[in-house]
Structure 1
Amino acid sequence: MSFLTRTLPRSLAASQRMAVQSRAFTVSSARMLKEDDRHNDDQGAANEHHKQDQLKKQKEGKGHWKPELASNSEEAIAADRNNKDESPEELQKRTQHHAAEKHK
């Protein structure tokens, strides 16, 4: 009897037994609106405040887009679509003003 005929059935049976594995514990990642909000402890309350404000304004017929409830990429896309008329110099001035106001 050859070596392969003696060892092959055992090795196949062993590999079939080891192939069945399952994961016992999984963790899903935290879901954030903005990537910057990851380290802000009270971001949930701020998001809820903006959400309630947006719902109230929508009921009054004064609803508008709120960048606070958008992700960074959604905010960038909206900025690209809405600012077609402005020159780069005007955009730079607005960015400087916004950064100065935000980081006072």
Structure 2
Amino acid sequence: MRAVTGYQYNFLAQGSVTPYAGIGMGANFGEGFTFDGTSLLAPVLTGGMRVLVGNTGSVNLSLSYEHETDNHVSENRIVGAVGVSSFPWRLH
């Protein structure tokens, strides 16, 4: 289980595309919330774009850099993600 918090800035939309960038930090709980096997994620740097599909949804693409440490081992990762968002309140 992991928890990440941070700030995301949405740039001005270019047609149906909204680029964004973010920074954050968090924790990875390897053994649940017992704090055994817990590691720190900092920084988490993210960039991506939201592509609107109609007026009620979007396809989201992102690429992130994460640094994780547990005070013994450090690891750097590049993570790609694809997701879908739905905006049901925008139905007419």
- TM-score, normalized by length of structure 1? 0.19
Higher strand share: 2
- TM-score, normalized by length of structure 2? 0.20
